[in-house]
Structure 1
Amino acid sequence: MPVRDRLLREFLAAIEKKEQQQLIELVEDNQPYDIAQILLIINAAQRKELFQHLPNWLLADLIQELDHEDQQLIISEISAKKTAQILTEMSSDDAADLVGELDDEKRQELLALLDDEEAIELRELLQYPENSAGGLMTTEFVVIPKAYTACEAIDKLRELAPDAETVYYLYVVDEEEKLIGVLSLRDLIVAGPETIIAEIMYERVVSVPTDMDQEEVARVMEKYDFLAVPVVDMSMKLVGIVTIDDAMDVIKDEVSEDIAKFGGIGGKEAGVQDLNIGAFDAAKKRIPWLALLLLIGIMSGNIIAQFEETLDQVIILAVFIPMIADMAGNTGTQSLAVVVRGLATGEFIGKDALRLIKREAGVGVIIGTVNGLLISVLVALWQQNIWLGFVIGFSLWVTLFFATLAGTIVPLLMDRLKIDPAIASGPFITTINDILGLTIYFTVATRFMEYLI
């Protein structure tokens, strides 16, 4: 029997019998993520019964494992007082994220139910933009004054560790609480008891400002293989840390958002969360892009209409229209994927743009030559017409060259204009390259019309 099915049966049995101790043991003996998924499977009445038997700290662990939408579902079923009690047990960054998703009235109600210190801490976190380092950070970390000895630092670590998000790094500050160094747990443990922290700390510490975009924060952590990165304000005072689990969530969300944009179905709201909304709402997110592409696509029909005389005289040209359009779209999308990935990972910066364009131009020439020669030979043998083979092959060669350049230059240009290059993806670049390919195809065919008749 699958683990989830077994857990579900055990949970339902314990809920029905109101066996509090068994419910607590089930939660403690299994992974929080697995139990959190059970919360979404059972009905509202069963969840209500479960919440009455589990302590708040366990509920906090479970709710922290859920996506924002699922968190909102859960807290909508419990009282504000109970929600406030659960928030108290959550890490500061997760609590701020949950509260930040609420409407203002509900948010203020919950903050009023918290004690002053916790409410102030949450309000400070909520003042930062959601997608910034400040909005991502937690204020629960271990900070050590530089004058401490290793023995004093270990005592401080024991005091702060139960509430800290991570203890792998200890952050060292001066008298003004400015970040001046970092110390690994390993270095602290092997240091002599009377060793001064300032003597063993690593001074070339990497930090991020509170207003840095969360995606940039994730890149910094990936670049340096950090488990956590400190966040500082304008005066270099340490105000929080971003941990690896939050960075991974950012990467997952950004990937989902980019994939959604590649499909022309919107951004953040259209990623994996698309499963949680109704058909009408999902359609609303997709219709604007499709309507725009429909209008642009009309141009393809208009191009064919402009060359109606050419088609009338050489009807066989119509057979190759889908092939020309498809190849243009495919090669443009390939280049687009390479560029968007490079921009997203930070591989392409400033001076790399021209080098990338030159390389992709070379790629366009090569694939255009190979595919152009191949289709020329095939068409010439099939139709017993060398000139028709030449027209199809030459048109494809030119089309693939320019389609490759379009797939490269368009996202680079949009990135330079501070527009998300993922928007210039999938359907958009394919439609543009369709128009480009048909224009080239019929122009070449018209130019060599006398040899085709």
Structure 2
Amino acid sequence: MVKLNEHNREQYEKHILEVLEKGERILFRESFLELHPTDRVDIFMKLEGDMRQRVYEYLSPEEFAEIFQGLEIDDQKEVNSEINEVYASKMFNSMPADDVAYFLTEVVDAKAENILTSMDEEEAKQVKELLSYTPETAGAIMTKEFISISSSQRASEVIEHLRSEGPDAETVYYLYVVDSKNKLVGVVSLRDLIIAPPNEIVENIMSSRIVSVTVNTDQEEVAKLIKDYDFLAAPVVTDDGVLVGIVTVDDVMDIVEEEATEDFGEFTAAKGATDVNISSFTAAKRRSPWIIMLMFFGLITAGVIGQFEETLEEIVLLAVFIPLIMDSAGNTGTQSLAVMVRSLATGSFEKKGLLHTIKREFGTGIMLGLICAVVLLIVVPILYQSFVLAFIVGVSLFLTLSIATVIGAVVPVAINKLKLDPAIASGPFITTVNDILGLLIYFSIATALLDFLPK
């Protein structure tokens, strides 16, 4: 199989497009099918109209299934509308059940039902099983294409079994040992199987210390487990220990990307609107709830400033530093938020504990505040000829940054304790809260020292 590099990609793509345009079926198949699946997807996505129809004609449904799996969901929907039902049915039958199930969750129920009806009974049964599990759990993302063996089999028998069943399995690096009731009792790596004597029975080769997940395990926990143990796949069992599927490392990579996108959307108060393919109307509809809520928080900020109207009227120069206080507080709080959400996601928070994290973030805030205060104590007197003003701004920023880091760290922990995603303590929310806090500190100190400020 050929994997194109940057040097020969353009030339090779041009060759394939030329033979496709000329209708040279055999030459197209030879050139196209020797490519890595990723490159096939890239080339296919550059085709339109009649050229795509030729690809459907030149490739069998089984061959095209590999391309379909590599497409984004919107592109999959488009392709599905371009191919006939017979072709689609054969294509879905050739795909892993988890990939078919994921596609069906993204289409309307009526169309999903039609696809399931057109598929082979056994293939459709596996897909329906995956669809029956709660979304974003191990059961919903697992694949049914795995190899299970008996503990009484010999190594040579298993290897022979692999030759016949291996091509249809998602992975053959791990073989799962089950008993007569299909309960998971052990696991054998392909390496251990190959180096074992041919007549050695599986029971003497397998490891009975099994790390598995249940069908109801959250997908993030599954991803963490596979990462921590450096697995290529993790077995999925029912509450009774019956082996029903596996979650592979490529599924985990998709989960990590999905969760990162979701957390990024939460951080920026743009959940569900990070996809550039959605319309402006849809993006605005999904962003508007947070924006409207933050707008009301902004009114609170305006109210805080209004409470100190007399102070501002007397010393108008104080207004110059309002953006500095607000921006610094918001930025520092958002940094602490990002650190905490990340530590919660990776599990490092559980190892260190809340007290350690708060002490670290508070210490960080104090040092940041001191640095900023020292800079302001030097710069402000030069620009505005007032040491008292420099003291007010410097102390205010010192206190604000010290507290803002703690707020940024504590809020996501509190949300996590409520069994909610800590990322919903979004950056804009933390920023607004710290803005209000910073202004209260700033104007309180300024009001207390008002008599010492130059009029």
User: Shorter-chain-normalised TM-score: which range?
Assistant: over 0.9
Deviations 1:343-396 (A, max 9, x none): 111221287122211221222222222222321232234333222121111111
Q: Which residue of 2 aligns with 1:315?
A: 316
Which amino acid in structure 1 is aligned with residue 51 of structure 2?
Q
Distance 1:140 1:253, change over 3 A: same
Aligned equivalent of 1:196: 201
Choose from 264, 270, 275 the match for 2:273.
270
1:170-229 per-position Cα deviation (integer Å, ceiling 9, x unaligned): 111112111111111111111111111111111111000011111111110000000011
User: Secondary structure at the residue paired with 2:302?
Assistant: helix
- The residue type paired with residue 409 of structure 1 is V
Shift of 1:8: 4.4
- The amino acid that maps onto 2:355 is L
Alignment partner, residue 147 of structure 1? 152
CA shift digits 1:112-150 (9 cap, x unpaired) = 112221121211121112311111111111111011111
Could you say what secondary structure the match of 2:327 adopts? Answer: helix
CA distance in 1, matches of 2:374, 2:414: 32
Provide the C-alpha distance between the structure 2 equivalents of 1:217 and 1:23, rounded to a whole number of angstroms.
Answer: 41
How far the C-alpha of 1:5 sits from its partner, in A, is: 4.1
1:97 and 2:98 matched:
no
Cα distance, 1:325 vs structure 2 = 0.8
> 1:383: which partner in 2?
384
- The amino acid of 1:197's aligned partner reads V
Instruction: Kindly indicate whether the alpha-carbon contact (under 8 Å) linking 2:236 and 2:243 is maintained by their aligned counterparts in 1.
Output: yes
Native 8 Å contact 1:232 1:240 kept in 2: yes
Give matches, 1:14-413, under 5 Å. 14-266=19-271, 269-271=272-274, 274-349=275-350, 352-413=353-414
Output the CA distance in 2 between the equivalents of 1:402 and 1:435: 12
CA contact (8 A) 2:89 2:119 kept: yes
CA RMSD of aligned residues (A): 1.7
Looking at structure 1, the residues matched to 340 and 12 of structure 2 have their Cα atoms a distance apart, in angstroms, of 45
Distance 1:275 1:14 in 2: 34
CA distance in 1, matches of 2:373, 2:342: 28
Task: Determine the C-alpha separation between the residues in 1 that align with 2:11 and 2:431.
Answer: 48
Please say which of residues 309-318 and 39-48 is displaced more in the overlay. Answer: 39-48
- Larger displacement relative to structure 2 (104-113 or 407-416): 104-113
Count of matched residue positions in the alignment of Structure 1 and Structure 2: 449
- 1:406 alignment partner, SS class: helix
Task: Spell out, residue by residue over 1:76-96, the C-alpha distance to the aligned partner (whole angstroms, 9 max, x if none).
Answer: 211222111101111221122
User: Which amino acid in structure 2 is aligned with residue 112 of structure 1?
Assistant: T
In the alignment, the residues of structure 2 paired with residue 324 and residue 151 of structure 1 have an alpha-carbon distance, to the nearest angstrom, of: 72
In the alignment, the residues of structure 1 paired with residue 68 and residue 60 of structure 2 have an alpha-carbon distance, to the nearest angstrom, of 13
Q: Which runs of 5+ in 1 are unaligned?
A: none
Contact 1:23/1:54 (<8 A) preserved: no
Structure 1 pair 130/24, CA: closer, same or farther in 2 (3 Å)? Answer: farther
Partners of 1:4 and 1:258 lie apart in 2 by 35
Contact 2:61 2:88 in 1 (8 A): no
Cα deviation 1:277-333 (Å, max 9, x = unaligned): 122222222222212211211222222122111111111111111111111011111
Provide closer, same or farther for how the CA distance between residues 9 and 293 of structure 1 changes in structure 2, counting only shifts above 3 A.
same
SS of alignment partner, residue 217 of structure 2: coil
SS in 2 for 1:250: helix
Which is further off, 342-351 or 234-243?
342-351
Identity of aligned residues (%): 45
Q: Quickly say closer, same or farther: Cα 1:296–1:51, change in 2 above 3 A.
A: same
Letter in 2 for 1:329: G
